[in-house]
Structure 1
Amino acid sequence: MATPKNIPFDSLNLYAVLTECQPLVGGRIQDIRQPEPLTVVLEVYAQRREHYLLISADAQFARLHRVSKRPPNAPTPPPFLQSLRKHIEGGTLTQIEQIGFDRIVSLHVRTREGEYRLMVELMGKHSNIILVNPSGLIQSAIKWVSPKQSAVRPIRSAERYQLPPTRVEGLRNPLTLSDAEWRALWEQAEGDWQAYLEGLSGFTAQELNAVAEGGFESLLAWVERLRHARWEPVVIRDPNTHRAIGAYPFPTLQFPPAWQHPRQSLNSAWETVFDERIRHARMDALRNTLLPALRKALQARQRALEEIERALEEGLHADRWQLFGELILAFGHTLEPDATKLLAPDYTHPDMPTIEIPIDPTRSVVENAERYFQKARRAREHQNELAQRYGILSEEAEALRLALERTENAHTETDLRPILEEARARGWLRETAPLHPAKRAEKDPFEGHRIRVHLSPDGYQVLVGENAEANDYLLTRVARPNDWWLHVRAGTGAHVIIRTNNQPERVPRRTLEFAAKLAAQNSADRHAHIVEVDYTLRKYVRKPKGAPSGFALYTHEKTLAVRPNAP
């Protein structure tokens, strides 16, 4: 069975909620809060107790209903909240009015200055909350809309308030139709109720179709319950997922009775539903952010493990590379011009069989020999370190697989939070987008500077500055004293940092060459055949006082020669 769609907070639900809110009329607005950027809560003292009326212009969760608890407040009052407190706090709520049968509500508030209207427009991404002063002019809004954003209906201060242009002329208000008009509509609608009735959602149109299948008397009974507000609120919950699909003013024919759970009020029903929806939305957003981050981190570790495996395997061939270099020096003089292979006797075997050695025709005999000697040195170097690094990365990869499994199987946001904290603590999120864009430090760990993050074949993090300001930031704010710092020799280019965890001596040559190649590729010499790159520890690099961005002096350097365009 397909997952059922959520029931919308439509005009019918809004009308039923507002009928339950009528006891608030005549009450005093004694406090106003703004717990979320697009949500306000009016605390109304009526009938000898406090009531909390929540209004949200959130594109995904636009709604208006009472809530059972006073919400927390914003640490610093936003401008819209300040305006509401200045103009209508302490006022009397004189009327709660739904405009037609649309998702627009007008809250009338009597103050010493006159009557203000708080206009609530619950229309998806166009939702808004607008304070209109006694002169009919816009005093403030939770969302300002410039003419560039909407030429049809900009929302600007001191302009006359007008209803949204989305209201369709000619549609009938179902609350004002007589029995005869309902019969005529039943005979001609042919199931297309939205073409005749104002503010009808697709869900309620389908409900009318289901009701009308029982004949006109069945339809009229449904209308009577609507006219006289004889609500029987229910929360509809999917028993397979245990998620609330929505709420409705009375039991619906579109879901089995076992899915529908009675509530004392529709306000409390929708409070339950939206609490769950928001909680699940946050959990899904966190899960959908964690999963690609963890997968990317796991893939990086797997690639690093493959590189280390190749390096360890090459270590087994060190003697062979050494032999190739020696044979090239011994028999290279026999090579024909443009030869691609050398045939030479293998003197390490008693019968001295002839072996074939690949040759690069663009290099000299000495360069070809040196290439094999370098391969032999690299194969022998850091074998113990590589094996240890392989063990560390294997443990991380296994931990990442476990974290992925836990993330996929998590049922609540509480289940995901420890995974998030572990991912942050272990650096699994450094190569990925941040989880909370609202906070600057988490949105960008480099505070907006253009710094790219790479993972070396041995699993070390390599940072590359993309401009002079980023280079300065890398040098002065990011790099630690025992991190490796690289830069092209006698040229302009990026600063490159290898994070060493305070163990620079354990960084394999392969990682140094990887970082040096990045430095060459991000320099003015990127198109050269061979580029020399200096490297030294960060503690030997300094920026002179008053020097331009990106300028640095360094000592204790060593030099690597790399090919920027080599695969």
Structure 2
Amino acid sequence: MAFDGLFIHSLINNIKHTLIGSRLSKIYQPFDQDLILTFRKNRKNLQVLISVNAQYPRFYITEQTIVNPDKAPTFVMVLRKYLEGSVLQDIQQVGVDRIVNFYFSNRNELGDQIQLVLSIELMGRHSNVILYDKKSNRIIDLLKRINPEENRVRLLLPKAKYELPPLIPGINGFKITKDEFKSMTRTTTVQSFVQKVSGLDRDDRNELTGYLEDDFSYTSFKTFISQFDKKGAFILKSSDNKRKIFPYLPYHLDLTKESVKSDLNQALDEFYLYQSNRDWVKQRSSQVERVIKNEQKKLTKKITKLQTQLDLAENSEGYRIRGEILNANLKQVHSGMTKISLPNYYENNRPIEIKLDAALSPVRNAQKYFTRYKKLRNSIKHVKEQVKISRQTLEYFDSVQTAINNADPQDVDQIIDELTAQGYIKRQQKQKKVKKITEHNLNRFRLSSGKTVFVGKNNYQNDWLTFKKANKHDIWFHVKNMPGSHVILQDNQPSDRDIAETAEIAAYYSKAKDSAHVQVDYVEDKRVKKPNGAKPGFVIYTGQNSIEVTPKKDNIQHKKL
């Protein structure tokens, strides 16, 4: 289900008492459409994530580690000016609509008490975060400033009067009385009544319809509505494996139960973890992906051109043959000729047509063919080396793209630093210093046997894991002949099951993660070497064994620490 009005009602009930009375200590905007508000209460920090992402606008308390950007946008500076140090007095939903108001109390520069409202409107592409003064009802600032030409319904600019967006009137299921229900349903159908109930998305609407078709009564209706006052959460999957989260267990929808959580907010944080990470990585790595795409395009063209040149060089015998035939028939060649047909004694004297330069003598024409032949033959070694280097560089960028696909937001800075060091990204004068790699940067897994597996998420981490972190007798894993993470199993006598489980992890953190049959090499870490001058992440190894596995996301995520 989506973040509809009834879901928001459940979430507010879940987090309200945790947040009310806390002091807002920090505000930052890690990405264009996301805000982090850090509240302090009972000597603990509580991070509230607010996202106005058009596909899944949302808010909840998060435990994710999100990097604070160096430079704060204008809206964040305004929020810090007015809200930092303020006390959260209340959290209220507007009816059962997708609008949530955070009420703050603070003091202005003169020391006077002021009441401020941070309004979160979770309405698809129209989602916004608006700060306004409760007394004057004037907007102080907002995350998305909208020109009057783009929205003529209401003015969304600083100093304008705050007005609610147009709301569709409907039935508030939490407030309707038994008499009102009877009056409304006396002459109407189940479908017509359900359409009038506010705060429902399609899934909730279908579920409520199922309840009322079984028993079109006030008791049945309140049974459905009362489920949104509970604290738990249910994660379910549709027939096409799409995951959905509900504050209740639906019985009338074609869904399969995946898991049950006792806390709705924690379930939300876990539910959106993967998708939000992908979005944040995509935003932060946009520059890197442009560089990768451009370099891959240039390298592909270069390899095609070099391959054509190599094919020409390897098939250059024709130039030598033409030179020899000309030398053997110099008396038949006259100055001013542009071509001549002579018997080819390499092919039973069949005629061969030879082009000539009219400005050159017969001998010079023959020498020209020999020179061309020698030049092409001498170029073969150089061109092959260039093809090899170009293909290795193309594989390197493939590995960087794979690293981005597996990265967390905080890993992108290391990838940018790597490409900067390689000269593919221009170094900034005030470039942020990348933190030293530690064990905490890596992905960590616990196998069924209890043994630990470490996974590098980019080329810098791969090198550090393989050559600094790993013991020489640990077992090193890597997908065969394909970009992927370096994976270390901390054990020198692994069982067959340990090897299979670790190989599955290595396959998942590679370009072949969606393949059914993936070959994974494994060998003692001491057999892995890095050639002099090799790019980050590139290694060679000998004496390896191989195993074929099929990576399954659920198996792997279950082992992640």
Whether the TM-score (by the shorter chain) exceeds 0.5 is yes
1:331 — aligned with what? 333
Q: What are the residue-to-residue correspondences of 1:321-400 with 2, within 5 Å?
A: 321-322=322-323, 331-332=333-334, 342-344=340-342, 354-357=351-354, 364=358, 366=360, 376-381=370-375, 383-394=377-388, 397=391, 400=394
* Shift, 1:139, TM fit: 0.5
Instruction: Please say if residues 35 and 72 of structure 1, whose CA atoms lie closer than 8 Å, have aligned partners that are also in contact.
Output: no
Q: Does residue 278 of the first structure (1) align with residue 276 of the second (2)?
A: yes
2:176 — aligned with what? 177
* Shift, 1:31, TM fit: 0.8
* SS of equivalent residue, structure 1 residue 8: coil
1:532 — aligned with what? none
Instruction: Please say if residues 294 and 404 of structure 1, whose CA atoms lie closer than 8 Å, have aligned partners that are also in contact.
Output: no
One-letter amino acid matched to 2:353:
E
Aligned equivalents of 1:275, 1:186: Cα separation in 2: 46
* SS of equivalent residue, structure 2 residue 272: helix
2:160 — aligned with what? 159
Please give the TM-score of this superposition, normalised by the length of structure 2. 0.60
Please give the TM-score of this superposition, normalised by the length of structure 1. 0.59
* Shift, 1:254, TM fit: 6.2
Q: What are the residue-to-residue correspondences of 1:123-522 with 2, within 5 Å?
A: 123-133=123-133, 134-165=135-166, 167-168=167-168, 170-179=169-178, 181-182=180-181, 184=184, 188=188, 191=191, 195-216=195-216, 219-220=220-221, 222-226=223-227, 229-236=229-236, 245-253=243-251, 259-281=257-279, 289=289, 296=297, 299-300=300-301, 302-322=303-323, 331-332=333-334, 342-344=340-342, 354-357=351-354, 364=358, 366=360, 376-381=370-375, 383-394=377-388, 397=391, 400=394, 412-413=406-407, 424=419
Cα RMSD between the aligned structures?
5.0
* SS of equivalent residue, structure 2 residue 207: helix
* Shift, 1:58, TM fit: 3.0
Instruction: Please say if residues 28 and 72 of structure 2, whose CA atoms lie closer than 8 Å, have aligned partners that are also in contact.
Output: yes
Aligned equivalents of 2:188, 2:368: Cα separation in 1: 88
Q: Does residue 100 of the first structure (1) align with residue 100 of the second (2)?
A: no
Aligned equivalents of 1:46, 1:126: Cα separation in 2: 32
2:9 — aligned with what? 15
How many matched pairs? 418
CA shift in 2, pair 1:186/1:377, >3 Å: farther
* Shift, 1:266, TM fit: 1.2
2:454 — aligned with what? none
Aligned equivalents of 1:87, 1:350: Cα separation in 2: 91
Aligned equivalents of 1:297, 1:193: Cα separation in 2: 61
Aligned equivalents of 2:189, 2:90: Cα separation in 1: 34
Instruction: Please say if residues 235 and 246 of structure 2, whose CA atoms lie closer than 8 Å, have aligned partners that are also in contact.
Output: yes
Greater CA drift, 206-215 or 120-129:
206-215
* Shift, 1:66, TM fit: 1.9
* Shift, 1:27, TM fit: 0.8
CA shift in 2, pair 1:341/1:377, >3 Å: closer
Greater CA drift, 45-54 or 273-282:
45-54
Instruction: Please say if residues 308 and 390 of structure 1, whose CA atoms lie closer than 8 Å, have aligned partners that are also in contact.
Output: no
Instruction: Please say if residues 132 and 140 of structure 2, whose CA atoms lie closer than 8 Å, have aligned partners that are also in contact.
Output: yes
One-letter amino acid matched to 1:319:
R
Aligned equivalents of 1:267, 1:259: Cα separation in 2: 18
* Shift, 1:403, TM fit: 7.7
Q: For residues 523-547 of structure 1, give each alpha carbon's deviation from its aligned partner in whole angstroms, at most 9, with x where no partner exists.
A: xxxxxxxxxxxxxxxxxxxxxxxxx
Instruction: Please say if residues 28 and 90 of structure 1, whose CA atoms lie closer than 8 Å, have aligned partners that are also in contact.
Output: no
* Shift, 1:296, TM fit: 4.1
One-letter amino acid matched to 1:178:
T
* SS of equivalent residue, structure 2 residue 277: helix
Instruction: Please say if residues 31 and 43 of structure 1, whose CA atoms lie closer than 8 Å, have aligned partners that are also in contact.
Output: yes
Gap regions ≥5 residues in structure 2: 108-112, 433-532, 534-561
One-letter amino acid matched to 1:40:
L
Instruction: Please say if residues 343 and 354 of structure 1, whose CA atoms lie closer than 8 Å, have aligned partners that are also in contact.
Output: yes
Instruction: Please say if residues 66 and 271 of structure 1, whose CA atoms lie closer than 8 Å, have aligned partners that are also in contact.
Output: yes
One-letter amino acid matched to 2:371:
R
Identity %: 18
Instruction: Please say if residues 103 and 115 of structure 2, whose CA atoms lie closer than 8 Å, have aligned partners that are also in contact.
Output: yes
Aligned equivalents of 1:274, 1:186: Cα separation in 2: 42
* SS of equivalent residue, structure 1 residue 86: helix
1:470 — aligned with what? none
* Shift, 1:213, TM fit: 4.6
Aligned equivalents of 1:84, 1:75: Cα separation in 2: 17
One-letter amino acid matched to 2:159:
A
One-letter amino acid matched to 1:67:
T
Q: For residues 159-215 of structure 1, give each alpha carbon's deviation from its aligned partner in whole angstroms, at most 9, with x where no partner exists.
A: 1111223x22x3333323334555655984554677423332223223323444533
Instruction: Please say if residues 334 and 361 of structure 2, whose CA atoms lie closer than 8 Å, have aligned partners that are also in contact.
Output: no
* Shift, 1:104, TM fit: 0.8
Aligned equivalents of 1:188, 1:270: Cα separation in 2: 37
Aligned equivalents of 1:63, 1:154: Cα separation in 2: 23
One-letter amino acid matched to 1:278:
S
Greater CA drift, 57-66 or 326-335:
326-335
Aligned equivalents of 2:347, 2:196: Cα separation in 1: 100
CA shift in 2, pair 1:121/1:271, >3 Å: same
* Shift, 1:404, TM fit: 5.4
* Shift, 1:397, TM fit: 3.2
Higher Rg: 1
* Shift, 1:120, TM fit: 0.8
